[in-house]
Structure formats: structure tokens, C-alpha cells
Structure 1
Amino acid sequence: MAKGSSDTPLMQQHRAIKQKYPDAILLFRVGDFYETFGQDAVVASQVLGITLTKRNNGSASENELAGFPHHALDTYLHKLVKAGYRVAICDQLEDPKTVKGIVKRGVTELVTPGVATNDKLLEHNRNNFLAGLHFKDDNQIGLAFLDISTGEFFIAEGDKEYADKLLQSLQPAEVVFQRQYQKRFKETFGHRFYTYALDEWIFDESFARENMLRHFGTHSLKGFGVEEMSHGIIAAGAIFHYLKETEHPNLQHITHVQRINRDEHMWMDRFTIRNLELVGNGNSDQRCLLDVLDNTVSPMGARLLKRWLLMPLSDIGKINQRLDAVEWLIAHTDTRQQVQASVKQCGDVERLVSKVPLKKINPREVLHLAKGLQQIEVLKQSLSQQNNDYLQRLADALNPCPLLSDNIRRTLVDNPPVAAGKGNLIATGVHAELDELRSIATDGKNYLARLQQSEAEQTGISSLKVGFNNVFGYYLEVTNAHKSKVPDSWIRKQTLVNAERYITPELKTYEEKITGAEEKILAIEQGLFDELLRELQDYMAPLQTNGQVLGILDCLCCFAGNALQYQYRKPVLHNGSALMIKDARHPVIERTLAAGEQYVANDIDLDPEGQQIIILTGPNMSGKSALLRQTALVTLMAHMGSFVPATEAHIPLTDKIFTRVGASDNLSGGESTFMVEMNETASIINNLSSRSLVLLDEIGRGTSTYDGISIAWSIAEYLHHCPQAPKTLFATHYHELNELEEKLPRIKNYHITNREVGNKIIFLRKLAPGGSTHSFGIHVAKLAGMPPKLIDRANEILSWLETKHAHDNEEGQSMQQKVKQLQAPKTDAQMQLSIFDAHTEVFTDIRSMLEAVDINRLTPVEALLKLNEIKNKLK
């Protein structure tokens, strides 16, 4: 914006505030509008689709201008933040009616993707985390995750792989870290996160500890179990500093911090999370595991279920605790339905509570909290009487807060307005003066009529009238004929031709009450509502605990409902090493089958002692990848505490699931398909343990055939020989790998069955022992709609290569040498069967013989004789 001596005071004020927030869009409140100026206006007009105008402020230059009504803030703020902009909201800090000159203004909130609290900026079924990262080195990274909209706060520490895993799982909306590490962050974690760099001095341990101790009001962090996590504390301290800088001082709803222990959760890297299609990737047409499993009834449950899915348990006791509770809820349908009904009626307790210190909760939401507390009372009584230990402990943790609930329902009307400023939110009988003012405001005419009648009767002035003017307010008017009857206590204020006007002490008192009664009513109601919010703040911790427990109950009931609806069974978790699943199904694919189509279930047995590695071969599209994924998903669901899609499942406690499935490029990062494949496979090889489950699909397909076979073969050998002996499913098109069964004792061959009917292939999708010798790739190409001429040619080449394979191998002939022998196909006018020049004459003779045959008159014996003749010519 150009600076000129003729700038108005308003523009000078705008410039001074804008200088404090140069990287944010400044929404500048002017009267009933939020205005943007200069480059901010250009951006706002483009993003919001509002009109861009220019206003000459008297200087040599013109200023761009774009604005919108203040009541539309929520709508436009949502669009700006979703577009990736930081937005500073500058409000009027004084009432313009009481100020002469320029109104004092200031930024009341800086909204960024990670500190959004507005409902329109949030998705109800997912957390909106702000992440803090502290880089020490690649092996020491501190992490903190805060959802300001729910008060959930987590701290963790680990190497760059663990940091990547947490970022991928919790998907923060914004990440803050040291400014000098911007390049390293992008190199390590990619470009998929919205980031903001902070100065180095903020990442100081003593400064961070001081920030946290001041916030929690404690002498140490031992009570939270994070005292020794110095790098995590630094990351958390940076978050607190960032919140202060973005004008978020009211953080009383952040009542505790939890540590994330790496050992408490099953490990899945970001490749596995992507390959198993656990959560959506933005493609609305493609269903993921979360879509199938999430039948929760509350936002708390939906958010928690996603976290359970991405961070499964590794403690067998905690897993069985969930499984037993799910089993109990399946058996007790009435209780489960009652729990779900109560949880649903409670609403989003976590986010409602978090609005209290921010003073963004409205009267209707406060009443909803109170009604939720009534449901919590019902839940507590119901569950505490049940004979499941886990459910009883959850019931004990619930706090109905009866005093708070009663006070809210006694203070607020049954159907309060959404906005407190509109009034009519406080119930009758709460405040005597409020009731009187309401009576005056709503019953003013009746009061004046009663006053007029009373005074007329007392004085005998039958023509007495009550009136009002702006000079001296309410008055009593007496005609000259009755002037002698006026009492001495009346005060004359005005003389007319035929009458006199008087005021009385009672009328003056009434006038004082009725003048500004509406404003007084609103002020009293706002004061009573603020008092209610202050009381609510005293109950922050128990209310948040209620929200967490409701989320757990919702997830457990969801698992029970899924088990009944989808015919899932309870898995058996054990500390052994053998994996046995009977009639395993893919939970997502079976939900997307056409009506009447049945999913083909399969048994899986893996045991490091006997059948450690399964080499899985079979046709394209036969279901190899589905079999791999369903084995991982059944294992994963069991560790979540969910029942699984199988008739029986004995699952060993698993610490890590690794997958390498499909082909994908990372061209923007300079990596080819094969490089991505090798990176993912190297990550698996270098992080194995004896309790790992490894799923490999089409390893080596990104390079030449012999390279690929060599790599796949050596990987299988390595997994077999390594001391960890991880359970492995290895799907491949390289049928040469079937030979490993002869050489290595713990490798077994299996294939997906198919049946050839005529020239068609029917995929039976059933697992059977033994290797497959054919991939039917050309058949898949035909199904995909390749031109018939192309398919015919591919079959010719395949037939020749397979025929020549054995003889050429004896001669040591390479694939390149074979391909060189292939003759290019001739044009339509030429003979299509001619592949090798040496046989052109023979094929020409055969063609002539066939063209001369009348098939309709050919007897079976003649046909056999003709066939024998053709065979002799080929010899």
C-alpha cells in the first residue's frame, strides 16, 4: 500500500496493524463490514469471489478494496483458511457510539489451518491437529500434537521414521518447526503438510518447560509422564508460544498432556497405511477400511476410531479387554442400543467443552451439554450394574456433574437462541430485576392504563390522560376544567391552551425503568450467561473425561454392531508365532460386491517353524493382492480390539506390519517406480523383527525381467535365512520363484486357482498348494478392451517364446537374442501367420489347402485326414 501524507487516520491505523501481521490476510472491521485493502483485497476477491474495487484516498495511488458483511465472517473465513491462507481478524475494540474520532481496533484472533475452532473449518469425524517438531538430528526428533478444538494434547519422541509415521497417522493440519530446517523437513516428510517456520530461540528447553509449567500450574511434568522427554517438551513449548502469537490466550480446556509410547502400538509405516488403504486418499469413489468400520454415532467416536485404526495396540491385555467388552455388548443387545442412543444424544462433548474458555459456545450448546449430562447419568447407572470389568471402569470414570446440569437447566429457557446477544435466553424466576424489566418492557401499555385509571379514581379527574414526548418523557395531562383537583405532589411541566401537563414521582420512577429496559435486559442476561460459563470452566476436566469415555463406548458398540451385521468373529490373540485364519475375507471388498455375489474366503497358515514364507502365484486379477491385504487387515483389526472377517482366527501378537503392494511413482521427488519400490522394500528389510508380518506383492516388476527375478529371489532367501524369520506372504508373477520350495525348507508354494472354459478364464479365487505356471496377462489385456489384432499378435509371440524356451536355454540364448528373431507383423494384405521367413512357403501352402476346403461338406473322417496332411507338411 502506498504511503502518502494525505492518508486518512483509518488507513494509517490499518497500515500499523498490517505491519504486525505481514503474512496474513487482514480482515479490518469497518462498521458492519470486514474490509481488505491492497494485495489482501486482490487475494480475497479471487478466493472469495467478491467484487474488487479501487478507492482514491487522496494520494497519488489508488487502493484496492474488497469487503463483505460482518455477519458472513464464518462463511468467508472458512474459504480463506481452506485455501491455505492465514487470516487476522481485526475488530473494533470500542463502541463507535461512545467514541469521537477513530475507533480503537486490534487483532482479536489469527486463524491458521492448525488453530481453527470454527465449526465450518472443522470436520466432525477427524481431529484438527497443530503439530510442533523439534529437530535435534535424524535419530532425535521431538513431536507434539494439539487439537485446540478438543483439548487433546500428545507428546512423542523418536527417529525420522517414527516422526514420519506419526505425521502420516495423525495428519496435522499445520506443522511448526525451526526456521533453519525447512529444507530438511521437505526432504524428510515431503510437501503434503501446511507448515510455518519459527525462530530458533523459541526451541529452548528451559523456555519450553516454563511455558508448560505456567500453563498447567504445576511444579514439574512428572504427573503427566513426560518429564524426561526433553525434545517432545521443546516441541510442545513451541506450540504454546505459537498459540500466544496467534492471539489464542484462552486455553483452559487443555488440562493435561499424554505421551505416545512407541512400544504401545503396532508399527505401520506410511507405505503400509497407503498400501492397505486404511483411510481415504481423497478419492470419493474408492472405499477404505475406515469407511467400512466407522459406524459410530458420535463425533468423539469417529475421531477415536480413526486413531485406533492407525495406531493399533500391541499390549495383549488391553486388546483382550476391548475384545471381551465387544463380546459382552454383542450378547446384551438392549444395553448396547441404550448406550448408543445416550451417546448420540450427548453430541460432540469434546468440542463443545473446548468452546467454553474461548467464549464461543452459544446458549443452545450449553443447554445441550446439560442434556448430555443427564444422558451420562443414565449411562453411568446402567453400565455400573453390568458384569464386565472394563465397562464398569468406564462407568466409574463418567461424571454426570449434577449441580452443573441442574443449574444450567434452571438458568436457561427450554429453547434458547443460538446467539446470546439476541436475548430471551434466561428463564423466569432466576433474576428478580430481570423479571420486572421484562414485565415493564412487555406490559408497558397495560401498566400505563392501570396508572391512569388509578390516578383518575384517586383525584376524581375523569378526563385524565397519560402521554409521552421527547422533552420530558411521560406525563399526566389535565384539562383546565379539572385543574383545581390536581394534588400538590404533582409537578407541573408544561402549560397548554386548554390543559396542563404534570409529572409524578411514580411516573418518573416508571420512566427510568422503562427507558433502556431492553438494553438492561440484554446486559443482565449476558452477565448471567457469562457467570454460567465461568461455572462451566470449573468442570472442564470431568467434562473432557466424559467426552473421552463416550468416544470409547461408541467405538466398542460400533465394533459389536459390525460383528453382528458383517458376521465377524472374535479373534484369539496369543504370544506364540503361528498365524492361522480360517475363511478369511477382505472386509472392504466384500462390502462392495454386487447383490447376490459371494466373497470367496480362504485359509491362511503361517508359522516360522514350518511354513514361514508362502510364494503365491496365479493369474492376473485372480485375487493375489486381495489375499495379501486381507491377511494384514484381519491381523490389524484384531489388534484394534475388533472382531474380524473370518470364521476362526488365531493371531500372534504382532509388532509390525510391512507391505509392499503395487507400483507408484514419486516423480516430483525424482524417484521412479522402481526406486520407490526399492525404498519401501529396504525399509522393510532394515526394520524386521520376529513378530513382524511381511506382505510383498510383485517385487522386482519395475525393472528388467532377469534383474527383477534376481532381486525377488534374493529377498525371499534373505527373509528365510535372517534370524528374525518373519512371517511372509510373497505374491509374484515370476514363476521361477516356485523353485525355492525345493531349495529352502520353510518356503511353500501356493497358487490362486482358475479354470479355462473354451477360450475364457474363470477365476475361482481359491488358494491351493503348489505353484502356478501361467499368468494370463494377455487374457487380462483382452478384458481391458485391447484391439483383437493386438491380442492375436501377442498370443503368437507368447506361443513362440514358450515353444523356444527350453531349446534356447540349452543353447544359452538370451531374451534379447530371442526377440531379435521375431519378424514384424505384415500388413493386412500379407499373410498374418508368417512369423519366420524360413517357413513362409509352408504356411502359404497350408493356407491354400484350407481355403480350398468346404467345411460344410467335410465329414469327420475327411477332416482328420486333412489335419494329418497339414501336420506332415509342417514336418
Structure 2
Amino acid sequence: MALTPMMQQYLEIKENCKDCILFFRLGDFYEMFFEDAEKVSRELEITLTGRDCGLEQRAPMCGVPYHAAEGYIARLIEKGYKVAICEQVEDPSVSKGIVRREIVRIVTPGTLIDSNLLDEKSNNFIGCLLVDHSHFSLSVCDISTGEFLVTSEESSFTKSMDELSKYNPSELIIIENDYIKENEKVVKDISNRFNILINIKNYEKINNLDLIKKFNLQGIELKEKELLTTACLFEYLIETQKGSIGQITEIKKYDLNNYMVLDSFTRKNLELTETIRSKSKKGSLLWVLDKTLTAMGGRMLRKWIEEPLLSIESINNRLETVEEFVDNLYVSSDLREYLKNIYDMERLISKVSCGAANARDLISLKESLRYLPDFKAALSSCKSSLLKEIYSNLDTLNDIFILLDSSINDNPPLQLKEGGIIKQGYNKDVDMYHEAMHNGKRWIAEIEQKEKELLGIKSLKIGFNKVFGYFIEVTKSNLSAVPDDRYIRKQTLSNCERFITQELKEKEEQILGAEQKVIDLEYELFVEIRNQVASNIARIQKTAAYISTIDVLLSFSRVAYENNYVRPEITKDGLIDIKDGRHPVVEKVITNIFVPNDTYLNLTTDNIAIITGPNMAGKSTYMRQVALITLLAQIGCFVPAKSAKVPIVDRIFTRIGASDDLSLGQSTFMVEMSEVSNILKNATKNSLIILDEVGRGTSTFDGLSIAWAVVDYITKNIGAKTLFATHYHELTELEERVVGIKNYCISVKEHGEDIIFSKKNCSWWS
């Protein structure tokens, strides 16, 4: 027995996407067959049926309605599957055989573009990594926003993992080389650490060079290995999106030295974007700072937190803007009101570029653009250099607003092939078809009345049948009054004649099939409008970036105003001098009294603070507080303190708390030693080091020896500003022996039924 033609077509298409679940379009459903059907039926709890396929046994089959497919696809993606969407690419009514079908898109965890399937305030990155013993190159892209970044460094595998942790990709391509072949554990480690879909690519040839060269690389040439990861990632995106990646308008290369380096331990320990225990946003620094009003601003805020600046000028530009917003509440209030009405322009324009946007998406874009002129006008009186620059360069995109406002109905249907998309007055043919649909009967009645009056035949009537269409019927007794020049005989009956006129024929063409014709024409016009908007993608993305920047800075100003933050002074001499500093997160959630405290660190006389005190006294909280205030200053945000002088810190290192990593086969002690080793290898005198209870994972004397050796090494070989909390009181002897070391302890006071901890300068033996 032979397979049916349709099933042959299915298997031929399936052969090209063996690693995907194939959603095969049949009418109003996506159907799955054979193993895919069994898998989807099990995973999504859908009824498994069967279909005759030409073989002795029926093919297992299950399906989902096409209009509800996104939800099912999302569930499969969450379970780690890839889904290939196969559509009918020709009209079944005109097809002479099996309808031609093609895969139009492959959906993977890293290539989602539908906002309903994504966290609106988080990027969804896909990455491509090339790594060996002493070098790595990393390219990452969020196709839902069009952001594409590339970097590389002569560094270790650990450094590449730190950079990956910043983007936390949902999917990663690893280029196979000798290093990967010889170190199979590397791929396993990455998979365990990030819990992502990984593809191994044997990629030796650099393709897509012409495509890459068209991008503005900001005068920076990509190195060979950067070209390799970029080209490989492009190839994968083109393969899965079938070429629809027009939202990527720029490749940005960045140097790791342009930003404060934050390794994965530090991000985790400082709980920058999520808490350690619950992995939730609430309780993190991001939770405190996020007063953004747009999804775009929320994503940019997260990016700024992950990438503190090293340029004093850039930091002060942000601080100056925040200060102006704090001082000018009228402007801040107006801008925030406008932001409330702006949708996610970045993801909307990406959907437009991919051809995935519907009419409602374009209306959302139009409504966002409506407020841009007023938004820009509100910036006109601003004095800060950053806001003046944005005001000068902000494109209000008025031409795109006019196009959308004149063409798309304000409340269009969700589906594109139901009609009702195009506004009246935009296209005369659409207007004519709509008039035909709504006024056809009136037109016919008017022609009938006119012909009765012209010919003087009261019994004249206009009829209709499916064979001849519309016709004018005249009884044989009145045939002498019929004009030969206008009336064309169509049918002769026993007692009457039927005629057609040019006018009636034209109206017939307009009326018959007007509904389908207007649906087809509206769809064609919509695609033209969508393409016209897509041709302006770079302009829209640039405007979206300016809006996001203002949204984040307004968020900083609101947090500063509501929580009594102050503008930090960025110093050049390495001095940290914080008066009445507070932990930004703890003060928002603590139920008892939080005691502000001071910090003074420099590069000479006070560069290491050894902190002692009872358990639960808040030593870790205090040290995190210093680190967070430093980080806040370098992202351009005001800080929780009475006053603060903060230097440019090239790196913040943290070693806080006891934890193991069983997935990597590391005990608590091994994790601690790995983290301490990483700090000692990479810290400089311009770094800030936070160490908590180093050496506690072993015996007392061994632990004390380790702690003593670490402090000694930092003092003699690094000279970095360091906060070192310990239970080893013997370390306090170092204050008398080594210049630059000072002792502090946490004092305890009773306040009613509460206990208050406060830090103060002390000598243990005094």
C-alpha cells in the first residue's frame, strides 16, 4: 500500500525539521501525525485520534485550532521543544492538486516574538558562544526587540560564563571546536547552570558576510572569532525565521572594560534582579528601582543594573537628569502621564518587521505615537545635557502616525482576513465595495425605478438568479418600448424577455462577490501599510530607545523622591565616604527599626575593614549595603544615604553565605574556595571586595589560616577596598600590624521588645 499524496507531502516536510514538532496546516487546524501526534497528545493532554494515510494502520493524529495555536506552542516551548509552523501557501480553491505547503517559521525558546509569550520587562536572548582555553567570543540577540550584541576577550571559560549570566539566554548555540570536543563536561556545566536549550554547531565557514557588512558597526571592525559567532547566530536566525529578521538593524560591539564587571556570584549574592531563595523579582534591587511605566523602560532598567558605567561623565549626565526630574515635579509628572499611554514599541515594530503584526498591533503603535509630540514638548524646558540631547534628536514619527491614523480602523478584528481593517476614505475601491455590500439592494431598486420612468413600463422589474445574475425583465407586450442601443438581450422566455444594460452590469460586478473582494483588497492594503511602517524600523527603534532612557531616569527620580535618596559625588581618589547609609531593599521590607550607618574606605589608611559581631547582627546586610550603594551610584541613580562620596569601581566581588553546587559536583567548601580564588585572581586596587566568613567551611585553625592568608594577600598584592566579616576574632590583631586595616564590630541595643544592631568603630581588645 502507498501513502496518500497529502501524507507524502507531510513526511517530505517533516524530513527537513526532524528535531521539531511539525504543526501541519489543514484548513482551520494545525495537525500533527505519527510520533509528533503521540508526543503532543501526551504533553498537552489532547485527544489522540487517527487518520487514513494509505497504510494498513491509521496514522496517529491530534490537532489544535489555528487561531488558538500560540498558547499550545508556548506550552511546548516551555517544555523544551521546538515547533515548525507549516502553512498553506496557495489558495485551496484554485489549487489543482495537493495544496502547496511550506515551513514559514520555526519557534524555539530563543526566537519567540509574541509579547504574550514573553516577560514584558525582560529580554529574551539567544546566544552563540565560541570558547577555548584562553579566549571566548559571544554574540547575543533578542529578536523580539532587534537588539544584537557581540563581544570577545582573551580570558577564561569562567569569564565567558559570567558574561552569559548577564544575558541569561533561553537558548544557546555552542560552536564545536577541539576544546568542546575534549571537554564534554563544559556543555553539561552550561546546561546545568542556565537550564537552557543548547545546540552544538560544527561551524567552520563564515557565511552571511555580506549581510553583516551592511550593519553600522560604529567604526569598529569585528575580529575573526566575533565574525564567526555573529555569522553563526545570523544563520540560525535566518533558518528559523525564514529570513524575516529585518528588526535587526544594527550590530553593537562592546568591550567588557566599558562597564563594571559583575561575575555571576556577585549578581547572585547582591540579589540584583532576583532573590537567592525564591528567584523572584520582589526583594531584589530591581524591585526597589522599577517604577518604569513602559515595558521598554523596564528592560533598559534591568540592563543598566547589569552594566554599571565606568565613565564619570556618563554617570554624571544621568545623575544630573535625575536631579532635574526630582527638582521639577511638573515636568516629571507630565512625562509620566504620557508614558502611561505608550505601548511596547520595540516588540511591536519587531512583529511588524517579521510580518507577524496584525491590525491591532498597528493601532497600538499608532496610539503610542499619538503622544510623542506632547512628550517632546514637555522636554523643551529641560536643562540637563542628556535631556537636551534627547529633545534635539527625538523623532516624533508624525508621518507614520498620519499613515496609520488615516488607514487602519480604530477597532479592527483580530484576524487579518475577515475584513473591517481599512478606514473609509483611504482607498476608493474599498469604499466602493463596502458601499456595494451595504447599498446593493438600494442601487438595484434605484435602477429599476429609473428604467420604469424612462421607458414608461410600469411592469418592468429587475430580477436575479445564480445563472444569469441581475437582469431587467420586460413583458412581450412592452418590447416595442425597449431601446436597442442600451438593452442587450440575455434570455427569452414564453411571456417575457430579459435584458442587461451596461450600468446594471457594472453594479452587478460591484455587488456580486463584493465581500470577498473587499476582504482580499483590505488584506493587500494592510500588508502594504505594514511594509511601509517596517521600512522605518530604525527610526522607530531609535525613538523607542530615547523613551526607554527617560522612563528609567524618571523611575530613578521617583525612587529618590519617595525614599529620600541623595545624589552621590563621584570621586577620583578612590574614596568611599558614606554617611548614614541604608540598605535599599532591607529598609523597604524590614518590620523593625533599621539603623543607618557610615562607611569610610580609601586606598591607603582605611582600605580593609574587618567586621565582627554576633550571629544575625547584620554584618552581611551592611556589606551588601555598601556594595549596592556603590553600584547605584555607577548606574546613575541617587543612593539611600545622608551623603555619599563614591569612586569608580572597576569590579565588585562578593563572597557571602554558605552554599554548595551539587550539579557541578562542588561542596560548600569547594564553592567558597572557587569564589575566593576568582576574586584574588581578578581584583585590582580599584575593585570593591565583600568577603563574609571565609574559611568557615573547614576546621577552626584551617579556617583561620585561610582567612588570615586572604586578608594578607589582598593587603600586600591587591590593595583593593575590602569589607571582611568574620567570626575569627584573632584577625582583629591585624589592625596593629598592617597599615590600612581597621576593625569594626556590630553593637547591640534593646529597644522595647526589639533588638537593634548598629556598626561602630572598635578594637576587639579594648
Do the aligned partners of 1:738 and 1:771 also contact (CA within 8 Å) in 2? yes
Distance 1:225 1:510 in 2: 62
Do the aligned partners of 2:745 and 2:760 also contact (CA within 8 Å) in 1? yes
Deviation at 1:461, TM superposition (A): 1.9
Structure 1 window deviating more from structure 2 (380-389 vs 452-461): it is 380-389
Match of 2:270 among 266, 270, 276: 276
Do the aligned partners of 2:80 and 2:197 also contact (CA within 8 Å) in 1? no
Distance 2:161 2:314 in 1: 26
| 2:507 is the counterpart of 1:510 | yes
Distance 1:576 1:717 in 2: 23
Do the aligned partners of 1:27 and 1:36 also contact (CA within 8 Å) in 2? yes
| 2:469 is the counterpart of 1:473 | yes
Q: Counterpart of 1:749?
A: 743
| 2:250 is the counterpart of 1:256 | yes
Do the aligned partners of 1:179 and 1:197 also contact (CA within 8 Å) in 2? no
Q: Counterpart of 1:18?
A: 14
Q: Counterpart of 1:700?
A: 695
Do the aligned partners of 2:109 and 2:197 also contact (CA within 8 Å) in 1? no
Q: Counterpart of 1:186?
A: 187
Give 1:626-665 correspondences, 5 Å limit: 626-665=621-660
* Cα deviation 1:266-311 (Å, max 9, x = unaligned): 1111000001111125534852111111110011110010010011
TM-score scaled to structure 2, two decimals?
0.94
Do the aligned partners of 1:752 and 1:764 also contact (CA within 8 Å) in 2? no
Do the aligned partners of 1:582 and 1:646 also contact (CA within 8 Å) in 2? yes
Give 1:492-511 correspondences, 5 Å limit: 492-495=489-492, 499-511=496-508
* Cα deviation 1:610-664 (Å, max 9, x = unaligned): 2221111111111111101111000000000000111111001111100000111
Q: Counterpart of 1:7?
A: 3
Do the aligned partners of 1:617 and 1:771 also contact (CA within 8 Å) in 2? no
AA aligned opposite 1:248: K
Question: SS of 1:109's equivalent?
Answer: strand
AA aligned opposite 2:3: D
Tell me which structure has the larger Cα radius of gyration: 1
Question: SS of 1:695's equivalent?
Answer: strand
Distance 2:750 2:187 in 1: 51
Q: Counterpart of 2:294?
A: 298
Q: Counterpart of 1:93?
A: 89
| 2:756 is the counterpart of 1:764 | yes
AA aligned opposite 1:670: G
Question: SS of 1:686's equivalent?
Answer: helix
Deviation at 1:324, TM superposition (A): 0.5
Give 1:122-521 correspondences, 5 Å limit: 122-135=118-131, 137-158=132-153, 159=155, 160-180=157-177, 181=180, 183=184, 185-186=186-187, 189-191=190-192, 192-200=194-202, 202-205=203-206, 207=207, 209-213=209-213, 216=215, 223-280=217-274, 283-284=279-280, 287-479=283-475, 482-488=478-484, 489-495=486-492, 499-521=496-518
| 2:721 is the counterpart of 1:720 | no
Structure 2 CA distance for partners of 1:269 and 1:284, relative to 1, 3 Å? closer
Q: Counterpart of 1:676?
A: 671
Match of 2:604 among 599, 603, 609: 609
AA aligned opposite 1:576: D
Seq. identity, %: 38
Structure 2 CA distance for partners of 1:462 and 1:208, relative to 1, 3 Å? closer
Do the aligned partners of 1:735 and 1:771 also contact (CA within 8 Å) in 2? no
Distance 2:510 2:188 in 1: 70
Distance 2:392 2:290 in 1: 26
AA aligned opposite 1:250: S
Deviation at 1:190, TM superposition (A): 4.9
Do the aligned partners of 1:154 and 1:257 also contact (CA within 8 Å) in 2? yes
Deviation at 1:753, TM superposition (A): 1.3
Deviation at 1:55, TM superposition (A): 4.1
Deviation at 1:161, TM superposition (A): 3.4
AA aligned opposite 2:515: E
Do the aligned partners of 2:406 and 2:423 also contact (CA within 8 Å) in 1? yes
Distance 1:568 1:179 in 2: 49
AA aligned opposite 1:474: Y
* Cα deviation 1:759-788 (Å, max 9, x = unaligned): x99532100222669xxxxxxxxxxxxxxx
Deviation at 1:518, TM superposition (A): 1.4
Do the aligned partners of 1:225 and 1:258 also contact (CA within 8 Å) in 2? no
Structure 2 CA distance for partners of 1:210 and 1:502, relative to 1, 3 Å? closer
Deviation at 1:193, TM superposition (A): 4.3
Match of 1:548 among 542, 545, 549: 545
Do the aligned partners of 1:653 and 1:691 also contact (CA within 8 Å) in 2? yes
Q: Counterpart of 1:854?
A: none
Do the aligned partners of 1:571 and 1:643 also contact (CA within 8 Å) in 2? yes
* Cα deviation 1:686-732 (Å, max 9, x = unaligned): 1111111111111111112221122112212222222x311111111
Distance 2:325 2:241 in 1: 45
Structure 2 CA distance for partners of 1:763 and 1:610, relative to 1, 3 Å? farther
Question: SS of 2:758's equivalent?
Answer: strand
AA aligned opposite 1:585: R
Do the aligned partners of 1:754 and 1:761 also contact (CA within 8 Å) in 2? no
Question: SS of 2:341's equivalent?
Answer: helix
Do the aligned partners of 1:576 and 1:653 also contact (CA within 8 Å) in 2? no
AA aligned opposite 1:212: I
Q: Counterpart of 1:42?
A: 38
AA aligned opposite 1:186: V
Structure 2 CA distance for partners of 1:230 and 1:317, relative to 1, 3 Å? same
Structure 2 CA distance for partners of 1:211 and 1:407, relative to 1, 3 Å? closer
Deviation at 1:170, TM superposition (A): 1.1
Do the aligned partners of 2:23 and 2:85 also contact (CA within 8 Å) in 1? yes
Question: SS of 2:606's equivalent?
Answer: coil
Distance 1:184 1:706 in 2: 35
- Consecutive unaligned residues in structure 1, runs of 5 or more: 774-875
Q: Counterpart of 1:739?
A: 733
* Cα deviation 1:63-89 (Å, max 9, x = unaligned): 321111111111111111121111111
Distance 2:716 2:188 in 1: 34
Deviation at 1:128, TM superposition (A): 1.1
- Consecutive unaligned residues in structure 2, runs of 5 or more: none
Deviation at 1:497, TM superposition (A): 5.8
Q: Counterpart of 1:558?
A: 555
Distance 1:439 1:56 in 2: 47
Do the aligned partners of 1:688 and 1:726 also contact (CA within 8 Å) in 2? yes
Deviation at 1:323, TM superposition (A): 0.3
Question: SS of 1:313's equivalent?
Answer: coil
Do the aligned partners of 1:126 and 1:303 also contact (CA within 8 Å) in 2? yes
Question: SS of 1:682's equivalent?
Answer: helix
Deviation at 1:187, TM superposition (A): 5.7
Q: Counterpart of 1:794?
A: none
Do the aligned partners of 1:243 and 1:249 also contact (CA within 8 Å) in 2? yes
Distance 2:392 2:416 in 1: 35
Deviation at 1:498, TM superposition (A): 5.3
Distance 1:190 1:681 in 2: 24
Distance 1:662 1:627 in 2: 14
Match of 2:616 among 607, 618, 621: 621
TM-score scaled to structure 1, two decimals?
0.83
Distance 1:384 1:256 in 2: 29
Question: SS of 2:696's equivalent?
Answer: coil
Distance 1:662 1:417 in 2: 55
AA aligned opposite 1:748: K
Deviation at 1:479, TM superposition (A): 4.3
Question: SS of 2:421's equivalent?
Answer: coil
